[in-house]
C-alpha cells in the first residue's frame, strides 16, 4: 500500500513528539495508509508514479525491470495530512458531521479537485 506521507511528516503535522509515539506507531501508520487510500481513491488512482531517471535516461534494475519512484505533489501530501488529521481527531466517528458518508472533508477535496480525473457516471 502506498503511503503518500512519511511517519515523520505525519508526526509533525499532528504535533506528536517522536519519543511519545512508540506505543501508537502501528495506529499512526494504519491511519497514514487509510488517509493515503482515501486520497488515491478520490483521485481515481492517480498516484503519480514516474519511472526513475539517471542523467535523463530511464533507470532499470539488474534484471532489466524499470525502477519507479514516487513524486507526490505537495497538494496531494497536504490533502493526505488533512485527511490524517480528521482520522486522528475523530477516531470513532464524525461527531461534528464535517463530511458525509462517501465524501471526503471539504478542505481535502479543495486541494485535490483540480487534480482529479473527470469521469462520466
For residues 4 and 36, is the Cβ–Cβ distance under 8 A?
A: yes
Band the pLDDT of 22: cuts 50, 70, 90.
low
Answer yes or no: is 59 within a domain.
Answer: no
SS3 label, residue 89 = helix
Grid cell locating 4: 503518500
SS3 label, residue 53 = strand
Answer yes or no: is 54 within a domain.
Answer: no
Tell me the C-alpha distance between 77 and 34, whole Å: 13
Residues 76-81 have a mean pLDDT of 94
What phi, psi does 64 have (nearest 5°)? 85, 10
Within 10 A of 9 (CB to CB), how many other CB atoms are there? Answer: 16
Mean pLDDT of the chain: 79
Answer yes or no: is 95 within a domain.
Answer: yes
Residues 13-35 have a mean pLDDT of 81
The dihedral of CA 11, 14, 20, 24: what is its sign?
negative
Residue 18 has pLDDT above 80, yes or no: no
Q: Beta partners for 69?
A: 50
Answer yes or no: is 61 within a domain.
Answer: no
Q: Structural domain tally of the chain? A: 1
Amino acid at each position: 500500500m502506498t503511503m503518500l506521507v512519511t511517519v515523520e511528516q505525519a508526526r509533525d503535522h499532528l504535533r506528536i513528539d517522536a519519543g511519545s509515539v512508540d506505543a501508537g506507531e502501528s495506529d499512526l501508520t494504519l491511519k497514514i495508509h487509510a488517509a493515503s487510500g482515501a486520497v488515491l481513491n478520490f483521485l481515481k488512482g492517480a498516484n503519480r508514479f514516474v519511472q526513475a531517471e539517471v542523467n535523463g535516461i530511464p533507470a532499470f534494475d539488474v534484471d532489466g525491470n524499470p525502477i519507479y519512484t514516487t513524486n507526490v505533489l505537495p497538494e496531494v501530501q497536504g490533502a493526505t495530512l488533512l485527511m490524517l488529521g480528521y482520522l486522528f481527531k475523530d477516531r470513532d466517528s464524525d461527531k461534528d458531521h464535517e463530511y458525509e458518508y462517501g465524501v471526503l472533508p471539504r478542505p481535502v477535496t479543495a486541494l485535490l479537485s483540480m487534480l482529479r480525473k473527470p469521469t462520466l457516471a
